[in-house]
Amino acid sequence: MDGPRLLPRTALLLALGLLLTGSGGHDRQWAPGFVAAQAADAGPPTPAGGTCKAHKYDTGPYRMLTDAHTRQMGQSYLGDRSRLLAALQRYRDGANLTIGVVGGSISAGQGASDAPSYPYWTRIILQALLPGGKERVNVVNGAMSGTTSQYMSTCVNLHVPATADIVIVEYAINDEEMPMPHMNNQVRRPYERLIRKLLNYPRRPAVILLHAYRWFGDAPPGAIRPTGQFWTSSERQHGEFGLYYGLPQLSVKSCCYHHMLKGAAPYNVSRVRHGPNFMLHEPAIDATLRGNLFYFDNHHPDGNTGHRVMGELVSQLVMDAWAQVVHKSGFEWVNEGKSVHSPKWGFVSEVPGSELRILVSTKTEHEARKDNVLVELGYLRSYENVGRFKVKCVEGCACENTTLDGLHDQKNSQTFLHSLSVSQAERCVISITVLPDSSTGKHKVKITGVMVSEDPDSQHFENFAAWELVAETTSLNPLGVAASGERRDDPGAEGAEVIAGRRVLREAGALGAGARWFKELQGEAELYSFLHA
């Protein structure tokens, strides 16, 4: 007689995932109230006006459930946005935007019974707000109910596509809250491994930590269930990894806890929508609960409220970064340094007509003052191959149009600063355009940076040595030794402090931050672990 047929491992995992997650709130008929909340197809969104905060995007055709302050409070740590900006720059240049999601049952869609889960809400919102979003924004939900980051750290390649531009990581509830020994244990090590694997994905995606929150705690039968404990979850310890790796972090607790204390819709936590004594088949009762309660059950947010809030937090972070993405027709972000340890980054173009637009806030802390502020534009000046360019303020602020020439008579190439008197504005867009006429017959323009003074009475920046020091100190190791053997006053000569520093590092062996830096300098190390820093 034939014995039972064993499923292949992949089929077993898939079956388990479907059993635990259901459809995750996808591909079903939503309640009538949801249809009205969907984003209208109103074409490309309009950027924020002068009344908006800096880098806060106008939510356009989609009507947010949360207010702007709540979404801002949910951004518990902005982190390093360079990867997010790079992903959105690719999108602006015509590429698609792929967002991966990993996490537990919340990310997998539990609680979203008659409205979308937060990954789907994220897709709805971004498809509505980003130009061409319906055709080019895709969300791949690789979350698995009942799993921790330990599982995902091993199998992430099965759940997140190699083409991911952004990855959302949500394990604050599923991972154990306080495993011992502190941090360096079998719970936290896999979480860090997962982060490091995602950071090394082919497209170097932006990794965003999304910290969910449970209002209702666990309790043995007959005991009083704890509610509203602020500190329960792995959010604090997960946040340490976010700080170390510079990852943007979003927090449901940070945005919504005080709303929950007040009990107003959609943050009402006086009860849950679904439980043993009140079921969805009681439509008259459920009609009064839908859209009012934050949680569907004791563990999972409701699709109409909690999941939607989480989707809006993710979308707002992306749209804030979208507002920062520069328009760079003809310009490229280039490192012209001779050594990887002495970088010389900047936006470079050699084509007349190329335009670079830079978004900054020129608003100062002196709210009572309406005077102009000083904006310093860093650009390359040299004795050959450089061209001329025009600088003007094109949106939100005003300044005098200026034409600058990159040519000077000294036989060197240096960064110079040009001072602009600019009106104060939350959103100020400055345009740099390469001109067709040139003093050298060539047209190279390199923009290295923008600085905004917070003092309306400041004078133009004259300490060029300090500007050079910025580039110099970015190449220092933990011992304060220059990472490059080149000295600015004597190119090609290796300074005595570099030789001494290398001797100290070699004597340190494999111990200490200096030795780790030395390995990285010699190309012997990749990312260094938070747990061993």
- Give mean pLDDT, residues 492-513: 44
- Considering only 192-196, 268-272, 456-460, which range has the smallest mean pLDDT? 456-460
- Give mean pLDDT, residues 439-443: 95
Q: Where are the alpha helices (DSSP H) in 43-111?
A: 68-73, 82-92, 105-108
- Give mean pLDDT, residues 438-446: 96
Which pLDDT belongs to residue 318? 96
Which pLDDT belongs to residue 471? 46
Give the number of other Cβ atoms within 10 Å of residue 356's Cβ: 23
- Considering only 35-49, 339-353, 432-446, 452-466, which range has the smallest mean pLDDT? 35-49
Which pLDDT belongs to residue 300? 96
Q: CB-based burial of residue 349 (10 Å sphere; 0-12 exposed, 13-18 middle, 19+ buried)?
A: buried
pLDDT digits (tens, 9 = 90+) for 361-402: 888 765 555 688 999 999 999 999 999 999 999 988 999 999
Query: Which residue type does 6 have?
Result: L
Structural domains in the chain plus CATH codes: 68-323 (3.40.50.1110), 330-364+371-453 (2.60.120.260)
Which pLDDT belongs to residue 385? 96
What's 315's DSSP letter?
H
Give the number of other Cβ atoms within 10 Å of residue 387's Cβ: 24
Q: Rounded to whole angstroms, how far apart are CA atoms 308 and 31?
A: 14
Per the structure block, which two tokens stand in for 175? 């991972």
Contacts of 178 (CB under 8 A, 6+ apart): 237
Cis peptide upstream of residue 181 (ω within 30 degrees of 0): yes
Rounded to whole angstroms, what are the CA distances from 284 to 32, 112, 290, 293? 15, 19, 11, 15
